[in-house]
Structure 1
Amino acid sequence: MIHATRTLSSMKFSRPAARSWRCPPAPAEVRDFHAGLPDYAPTPLTELPSLAAELGIGRLFVKDESSRLGLPAFKALGASWAIHRLLKDANGQVTFTTATDGNHGRAVARLARLNGHRAHVFVPDTVPALAIDAIRRENAQVTVVDGTYDDAVAQAARAGGVLVQDMGWPGYEQVPAWIVEGYGTLCHEIDEQLPSEPDLVVIPVGVGSFAQAVITHYRSYSGTRLLAVEPDTAACVLQSLQAGELTTVPTGDTIMAGLNCGTPSATSWPYLSNGLDGAVAISDDDCTKAVEDLHALGVHSGPCGAASLAGLRAVRADLGDLDTVVLISTEGRP
């Protein structure tokens, strides 16, 4: 059931029992697929001792997704795997359709072009012109929707073509599952880059598909704590966790454009509701400071990526001793 609500009862949510929940891991073949792509290389895991000292943490790392398969965000991991799977059954040229707040649509457009196909991308009218231009430079058709991200998803789903959406709902489940599987490569890289399991991984969240990938990875074998971070103007996962069911929220303007989503993915919800230790909503001001602080340390995160640092700061007093923390910076600066 999805219902609408307009107020945050709290800016954070905690459920320590999540650490004992388990789920099957993602297929190992996905990592092999990515490793075979011409532009593939693991993204950096950068240690930031000064931030660790500020926050009273043993070691703090940032997984820096500012350059992934030639694009400034992690989204190409999911789009490449999903399009690869879809093309196995394709005959002739197809048009891939999707809705986006920016990076996902650009990734779908890039992968469509590289594979000799077309893309039609729907964007809400709050998406910055620079992000729209970047999608158009991939030879994609772009339709600007007078409405929210959820409105753009609805139009993309009605547009025909082959929908490549990182959000699932009843009857549309397989492609989002492939996208989530693709995102898991990022977590395998972290395993290889760290000497031991992290105590905490902090995850920027939009509809929750990327969080589902992180949950799937760590909850298949680990007690690592997992924290979701959202804008306080679009905290659909936080409010769903507080309500105990999928919840749609009204969204407002935010510098975290890629997280500006009003409804969690229905296919991600079982993972979010069982596997997240906590969630927090942050302000644009706190996110701006995080962007500036990471930039000063040589990590060129965009607002969505820097949200992980702002979220950690917001709940640090609640977390106790931490030896190793990983912040996932999901995008570079525009």
Structure 2
Amino acid sequence: MIVNAGRDPAWVCAAAPTAAVRDFHRSLPGYAPTRLADLPDLARAYGVARLFAKDESNRFGLPAFKALGASWAIHRALRERTAGPVTVVTATDGNHGRAVARFARQFGHRAGIFVPDGVHPAAVRAIRDEGADVTHVPGDYDTAVRAAARAAGPAGTLLVQDMAWDGYERVPGWIVDGYGTLFAELDEQLRGHGITHPDVLVVPAGVGSLLQAALTHYRGAGAPPGTAVLSVEPRSAACVLASVAAGHPVTVATGVTSMAGLNCGTVSSLAWPYIRRGLDACVAVDDAEAAAAARRLARHGVDAGPCGAAPLAGLAAGLAAGLAAGQTGGGPVGAALGLTPASTVVLLVTEGAAANPAAS
């Protein structure tokens, strides 16, 4: 676990277009805010005042938050095209591809989804059941992303990838904007508990797009100050942690992990400036820690897959390392997060158990 030496407390970014995005999501069939679960027993167990889980196990009938970004990005991209039907193309470890397939079909288009090694056959079937053509790409997630980008070259195709690189940033930016609805809901739900903002937000990170959305929300113009953001990744694919440690983007080799949606080796180029200046600290956890966290959340009524449980695992790892400010050994990480017995902590539980059949 490391503190981000590049964190700039004075840094403020442009605010996200949350109102327009949320109005769009509200117009879609089946929209409803996902629940914010209050977990008082876990708060006591981890020594904080309040602990909440933003539970994304059912978002538009899909078992993960990805529908928010996919739906808005496809809508925005199609709005700029005058041609007829297109094939929407993306690479995925599971949830993003299924969401792209769902909304491509809902908006009257086809989808071509590229999956790397390690995606569970049940996840592939779920994507096919959305009407998509699925292509297996031997290799890791980055290899599948390159294959999807090549396939999206011809006319009549549209790449909707949740990762940016030089020359491909508009669509990933719309995906990040789409995730803003999650944080708008969270604001309202916390206000219902008399809380203006989390003291600590724990975010699972793959390529960093959800992390970018969180940092945009809590570091944007007009945002209330005082929210520390901690990212969590698999130890076998900790590209955010490695990049923060190096002070520049680093590509890491990835292994096999039950946290399939976080099994990414390269940080999105669009997310990196936000991470560099806005993220407070990073932690990496292993599959056993994520599985234990999922079991613990289940005992408290939260249905979480390994990616969704990673934030609780990350919080536990942080506490084990002496994160609490003022605690003996808390050191610079504790100071960075300001975690105290009076803190309100929010975990982004980004997927339900149904999103990850490999872990069941």
Give the shorter-chain TM-score range.
Answer: over 0.9
Q: 1:200 & 1:278 partners in 2: Cα distance?
A: 11
Give 1:323 shift. 1.8
Aligned to 1:167: 163
Cα 1:314–1:19, aligned 2, differ >3 Å: closer, same or farther? farther
Q: 1:287 & 1:153 partners in 2: Cα distance?
A: 26
Corresponding residue SS for 1:319: coil
1:218 aligns with 2:210: no
Give 1:18 shift. 4.2
Q: 2:233 & 2:324 partners in 1: Cα distance?
A: 18
Of 320, 323, 348, which residue of structure 2 is paired with 1:318?
A: 323
Paired residues, number: 324
CA contact (8 A) 1:13 1:280 kept: no
Corresponding residue SS for 1:247: coil
Give 1:16 shift. 8.8
Q: 5+ residue gaps in structure 2?
A: 326-339, 355-360
Cα 1:17–1:175, aligned 2, differ >3 Å: closer, same or farther? closer
Give 1:282 shift. 0.5
Aligned to 2:303: 300
Of 277, 282, 285, which residue of structure 2 is paired with 1:279?
A: 282
Aligned to 1:88: 79
Equivalent residues in 2 for 1:4-153, closer than 5 Å = 11-15=1-5, 17-27=7-17, 28-90=19-81, 91-153=83-145
CA contact (8 A) 1:39 1:70 kept: yes
CA contact (8 A) 2:165 2:268 kept: yes
1:264 aligns with 2:267: yes
Give 1:15 shift. 4.4
Aligned to 2:330: none
Cα 1:18–1:54, aligned 2, differ >3 Å: closer, same or farther? farther
Q: 1:293 & 1:198 partners in 2: Cα distance?
A: 22
CA contact (8 A) 1:19 1:223 kept: no
1:333 aligns with 2:353: yes
Q: 1:71 & 1:226 partners in 2: Cα distance?
A: 26
Aligned to 2:150: 158
Q: 2:246 & 2:291 partners in 1: Cα distance?
A: 29
CA contact (8 A) 1:109 1:140 kept: yes
CA contact (8 A) 1:256 1:284 kept: yes
Aligned to 1:208: 208
CA contact (8 A) 1:149 1:262 kept: yes
Corresponding residue SS for 1:273: helix
**Aligned AA (1:191):** D
Aligned to 1:238: 241
Give 1:291 shift. 0.5
Give 1:319 shift. 3.5
Aligned to 1:197: 197
Q: 2:131 & 2:29 partners in 1: Cα distance?
A: 21
TM-score by length of 2: 0.88
Comparing 72-81 with 85-94, greater Cα deviation is found at 85-94
Corresponding residue SS for 1:325: strand
Q: Residues 218-269 of structure 1, C-alpha deviation per residue, up to 9 Å, x if partnerless?
A: 0012320000000000000000000000000000000100000000001110
1:183 aligns with 2:175: no
Q: 1:169 & 1:319 partners in 2: Cα distance?
A: 37
Percent of pairs identical after alignment? 59
Corresponding residue SS for 1:93: coil
CA contact (8 A) 2:7 2:279 kept: no
**Aligned AA (1:326):** V
Q: Residues 136-183 of structure 1, C-alpha deviation per residue, up to 9 Å, x if partnerless?
A: 000100001100000000000000221000000010010000000000
CA contact (8 A) 2:163 2:207 kept: yes
> What do you get for the CA RMSD once the two structures are aligned?
1.1
**Aligned AA (1:66):** S
Aligned to 2:255: 252
Q: 1:22 & 1:49 partners in 2: Cα distance?
A: 33
Cα 1:48–1:18, aligned 2, differ >3 Å: closer, same or farther? farther
**Aligned AA (1:60):** L
**Aligned AA (1:173):** E
Q: Residues 275-328 of structure 1, C-alpha deviation per residue, up to 9 Å, x if partnerless?
A: 100100001111110010001111001000000000011112213214211000
